[in-house]
């Protein structure tokens, strides 16, 4: 009797390797698409958070008829810093007029509980209970040791509305991170402190300089309103995106310190960038903030431009740098400088227009001559190596024009 044998043919080694190779190719093709889709979702979420901040700005303006002040707060009156008291009546610390505009926006960003902590006398809960800070809190530019000693927790709050999901930075050494900052214009002179001193007094020379060079929607230590934006709300940038520092020496988050005056050449710090790694500073580059907390976006409550401000001088994702000829005061981010918008999205960064719209501005936006002197007092339009005369158009092209509130420059509708 003959049996019919059925033979089953298995995969050969070659066929198996071919199948594995095909699967590998498909995975290699799909992974970038998955990563791109995830980044697109993060970018959309970032833009939505920015829109919420824009809505808060408009609601604040509707309530008070002006925008919140950068470098505002309680006036310096002899108890500047971190003075506490054993009773609410003895709490005497002031914030020295150095708050950012964010504390005032908190009630309009669904942060009423945090606002109540800040706007009332605050009792320390951890470390030294039974001591009190005055309403509106102490100086917001604390370092880690000062914060550990005084434990004013509201300044350390992480507010998710102020964060971009594409930025992985979290926690210390930052004391409350933000990816959104306020536009102080397209110039350098006086944009760090505006027209006033810490006591809120307007002095003649700084006031004149500020009137001529502080051309942004926000002017430190001075209230502005939508009525001041003569170029139109839809043609003027109110806020911009930045990255927070990850401790890697990125030129966008670690602020370099230049011995060359940036007002005459805003791009002077480019010589300190590593040519082999153009996103990072050369080893040994002096920093305008040797303390780990002194980095871009590291303190949402502090109004110093290094933390919560930017200018439309260098295009997005270029270096940030401050100028101090002696390097004698470079740890507090209070010097004049060039602070750029930046993001961890490929190819550009978000900006918030004064009308509340959020736009993505590419790194290649027309930005004029980045080595041209900026607008300042006693400027002249005759020589491009000298400061630009106040009232003239921005030397930084479309990007600069978008950052000035009243330079009367035509803006293309499709920027």
Average pLDDT over residues 52-71: 94
Whether the per-residue pLDDT at 84 is higher than 90: the answer is no
β-sheet bridge partners, residue 281: 273
| Residue of 266, 242, 374 whose CA lies nearest to 322 | 266
Phi first, then psi: what are they for 85, rounded to 5°? Answer: -135, 160
**Token pair 């059925």 is at which residue?**
6
Contacts with 377 (C-beta within 8 Å, 6 or more apart), sequence order: 189, 208, 209, 212, 213, 387, 390
Q: How confident is the model at residue 11 (pLDDT cuts 50, 70, 90)?
A: low
Q: How confident is the model at residue 14 (pLDDT cuts 50, 70, 90)?
A: confident
For residue 307, what is the enclosing H or E element?
Answer: helix 305-308
Alpha-carbon span 314 to 317, nearest angstrom: 8
pLDDT in tens, 287-297: 776 677 778 88
State the pTM of this model: 0.84
Supply the pLDDT for residue 337: 85
Q: 33 in helix, strand or coil?
A: helix
Q: How far is CA 321 from CA 124, 213, 285, in A?
A: 36, 18, 11
**How would you list the strands of the sheet with 256-258, edge to edge?**
256-258, 321-323, 337-338
| Residue of 266, 285, 259 whose CA lies nearest to 338 | 266
Alpha-carbon span 367 to 318, nearest angstrom: 12
Phi first, then psi: what are they for 378, rounded to 5°? Answer: 65, 25
Contacts with 147 (C-beta within 8 Å, 6 or more apart), sequence order: 155, 156, 175
Alpha-carbon span 337 to 400, nearest angstrom: 15
Supply the pLDDT for residue 387: 54
pLDDT in tens, 103-113: 999 999 999 99
DSSP 8-state symbol, 75: P
Give the HSE-up count for residue 229: Cα atoms under 13 Å, Cβ half-sphere. 26
DSSP 8-state symbol, 99: B
CB atoms within 10 A of CB 198: 19
Supply the pLDDT for residue 243: 92
Helices (H), 65-111: 102-105
pLDDT in tens, 161-217: 999 999 888 878 888 899 999 999 988 887 887 776 555 555 556 666 777 778 889
**Token output for 116:** 């109540």
| Residue of 346, 82, 138, 312 whose CA lies nearest to 218 | 312
Whether the per-residue pLDDT at 150 is higher than 90: the answer is no
**How would you list the strands of the sheet with 348-353, edge to edge?**
309-310, 180-183, 237-241, 348-353, 358-362
pLDDT in tens, 221-279: 889 999 999 988 999 999 999 999 888 888 888 877 776 778 888 888 888 888 989 88
**Token pair 């979702």 is at which residue?**
41
Q: What is the DSSP string of 317-350?
A: T---EEE-TT-SS-SSS-S-EE-----SSTTEEE
- Chain length of the chain: 415
Supply the pLDDT for residue 90: 46
Q: 359 in helix, strand or coil?
A: strand
Supply the pLDDT for residue 92: 57
Whether the per-residue pLDDT at 79 is higher than 60: the answer is no
Phi first, then psi: what are they for 226, rounded to 5°? Answer: -60, -25
pLDDT in tens, 297-336: 889 999 888 899 999 999 999 998 887 654 444 545 667 8
Q: How far is CA 129 from CA 85, 157, 163, 330, in A?
A: 11, 19, 31, 34
Supply the pLDDT for residue 301: 92
127 or 70, which is more confident? 70
pLDDT in tens, 361-410: 999 999 888 888 888 766 554 455 555 777 778 889 899 999 998 877 77
Contacts with 30 (C-beta within 8 Å, 6 or more apart), sequence order: none
Whether the per-residue pLDDT at 83 is higher than 60: the answer is no
DSSP 8-state symbol, 415: -
Alpha-carbon span 293 to 303, nearest angstrom: 14
Alpha-carbon span 87 to 31, nearest angstrom: 60
Asked whether 264 and 366 are in contact (CB, 8 A), the reply is: no
């Amino acid at each position: 009797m003959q049996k019919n044998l059925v033979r089953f043919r298995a995969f050969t080694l070659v066929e198996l390797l071919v199948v594995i190779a095909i699967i590998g190719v498909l995975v290699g093709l799909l992974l970038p698409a998955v990563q791109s889709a995830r980044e697109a979702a993060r970018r959309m979420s970032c833009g939505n958070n920015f829109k919420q901040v824009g809505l808060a700005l408009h609601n604040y303006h509707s309530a008070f008829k002006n925008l919140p002040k950068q470098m505002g707060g309680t006036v310096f009156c002899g108890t500047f810093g971190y003075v506490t008291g054993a009773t609410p009546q003895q709490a005497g610390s002031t914030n020295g007029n150095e708050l950012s505009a964010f504390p005032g926006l908190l009630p309009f960003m669904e942060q009423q509980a945090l606002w109540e902590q800040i706007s009332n006398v605050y009792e320390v809960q951890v470390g030294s209970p039974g001591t009190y800070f005055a309403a509106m809190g102490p100086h917001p530019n604390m370092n880690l040791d000062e914060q550990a000693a005084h434990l004013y927790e509201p300044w350390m709050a992480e507010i998710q509305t102020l964060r971009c999901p594409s930025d992985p930075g979290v926690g210390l050494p930052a004391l409350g991170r933000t990816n959104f900052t306020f536009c102080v214009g397209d110039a350098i002179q006086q944009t760090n402190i505006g027209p006033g001193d810490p006591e809120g007094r307007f002095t003649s020379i700084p006031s004149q300089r500020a009137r001529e060079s502080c051309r942004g929607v926000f002017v430190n230590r001075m209230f502005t309103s939508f009525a001041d934006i003569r170029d139109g709300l839809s043609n003027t940038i109110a806020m911009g995106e930045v990255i927070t520092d990850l401790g890697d020496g990125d030129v966008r988050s670690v602020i370099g310190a230049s011995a060359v005056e940036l007002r005459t050449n805003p791009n002077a710090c480019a010589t300190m960038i590593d040519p082999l790694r153009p996103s990072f500073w050369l080893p040994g580059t002096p920093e305008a903030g040797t303390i780990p907390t002194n980095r871009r976006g590291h303190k949402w409550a502090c109004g110093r431009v290094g933390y919560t401000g930017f200018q439309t001088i260098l295009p997005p994702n270029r270096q940030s740098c401050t100028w101090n000829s002696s390097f004698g005061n470079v740890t507090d981010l209070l010097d004049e400088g060039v602070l750029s918008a930046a993001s961890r999205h490929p190819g550009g960064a978000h900006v918030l227009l004064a009308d509340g719209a959020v736009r993505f501005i590419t790194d290649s936006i027309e930005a004029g001559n980045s080595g041209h002197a900026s607008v300042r007092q006693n400027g002249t339009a005759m020589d491009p190596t000298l400061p630009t005369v106040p009232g003239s158009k921005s030397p930084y092209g479309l990007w600069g024009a978008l950052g000035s509130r009243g330079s009367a420059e035509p803006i293309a509708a499709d920027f």
